[in-house]
Structure 1
């Protein structure tokens, strides 16, 4: 039980990669606060996690609003009494060529990605300081590679990585570690894309050295367990590429 009695906040925690992370951390004994807009999936996952012997909480909150970050922090402290791990996974964006990417598209990506990450890190700072906790933020290989049609998403993800590295240095003396996961995983959205564009999907798989997508729980979730636990106690400010070798950083 690498995370026994730890308390983790996971945004976008009811589905896709977020749900995989929720299950992986719960399997290691962590109590989970799921932040999501999907009440049905959130309620189902709370029951599932409680079934494996941990406590779980679902909060339906719009993470793009700073006041909601404060409300999330207060609700988690009220139920669990502390915060050990903050995982900023949620992010909404729209794809378009750069000259067709509207200000509203940029605003959506930055509000749900960069600003949501910033707001929750600020709101949970004192609690993470008290527990010498861990923050896990999310980057993207599409941003590092500069993939076409990803302008708003890539800009927000690289802003998150830049912020994470700065805060990792500033918070290190207080024992708070801040790291980044850059994943490729099989989610419902990817499955839909595979059905609609099978040739493009196969081309993407061919570019992955390990020739498959990651599993949200077994691959991405286990990486989150590693970064949340004492196994990574000497790591901060790092980007962990959990992408089958798609992007290699040197």
Structure 2
């Protein structure tokens, strides 16, 4: 029997890249998957892949930066599949500028689409996660862990997500809810475009990964999320997993 049979998962930003890979992997292990995002065509494409493989998928168009949209995403998930077991907060807008050039608007955008979106989704999902003793996976970034140059607004947002996750892990542990963070390095469409534009930087990135390659969104990142939300890792909460092939080593 698939590890997630009978479970329902909500993945924000599931129409492409890492979110898509996570959605596909969750569905492959038996979960009914709701994917959300702002672009309907991409959501439909991912949902189509899931159904073609024999899985169950549902799409909700919306902006995680809007509280009403987030509440609707959770409500439609529960209405469609009867509950919620797994919440993956993947959606995040990114701004890359030098610190001195970073504006208030840049910070506001990354916070609204990142930690505030995760905060709103977690609050909306809590009653349902309590019923299911569910699991939350939030996405962080090594750009924040390492303090990479030109990522000021993005790093601020991603570290806020890690702080939120640790607090939730402590407060929600008594309900049987686990909250963890992953920091992935995967060959998403955005990464492919970046490497194509800056091939010399691609070489530098790969040289810094002990395993010598970028991760695959589904098989490397998605399947790790499957393990994380399954009973196989039922005793892990409040953790940050660096899914980067060894690029970032933290103690």
Output the TM-score relative to the length of structure 2: 0.98
Equivalence for 1:133? 134
- The corresponding residue for 1:192 is 193
Output the aligned Cα RMSD: 0.8
SS of the aligned residue for 2:114 comes to helix
Matched, 1:204 2:205: yes
Paired residue for 2:5?
4
- Alpha-carbon distance in 1 for matches of 2:196, 2:248: 25
Counterpart Cα distance in 2 of 1:229 and 1:33 = 17
Size of the aligned set, in residue pairs, is: 250
The alignment partner of 1:57 has SS state of: strand
For the residues of structure 1 that align with 2:134 and 2:61, how far apart are their CA atoms?
Answer: 24
- TM-score under structure 1 normalisation? 0.98
Partner of 1:120: 121
| Structure 2 partner of 1:154 | 155
Post-superposition shift, 1:53? Answer: 2.3
Deviation of 1:216 after TM superposition, in Å, equals: 0.2
Q: CA deviation at 1:200?
A: 1.0
Residues 74-102 of structure 1, C-alpha deviations (whole Å, 9 max, x = no match): 11111101000000001001100000001
Task: Name structure 2 gaps, 5 residues minimum.
Answer: none
Q: Give, in whole Å, the separation in 1 of the partners of 2:6 and 2:224.
A: 19
CA distance in 2, matches of 1:69, 1:195: 34
Cross-structure match for 2:20: 19
Hey, what's the Cα distance between the residues in 2 that align with 1:210 and 1:47? 32
Give the secondary structure class of the aligned counterpart of 1:32: strand
- Measured against aligned partners, the alpha-carbon deviations of 1:8-65 in whole angstroms (never above 9, x if no partner) come to 0000101000110011111100000001112112112212212222221111101111
Query: Secondary structure at the residue paired with 1:194?
Result: helix
Secondary structure, counterpart of 1:240 in structure 2 = strand
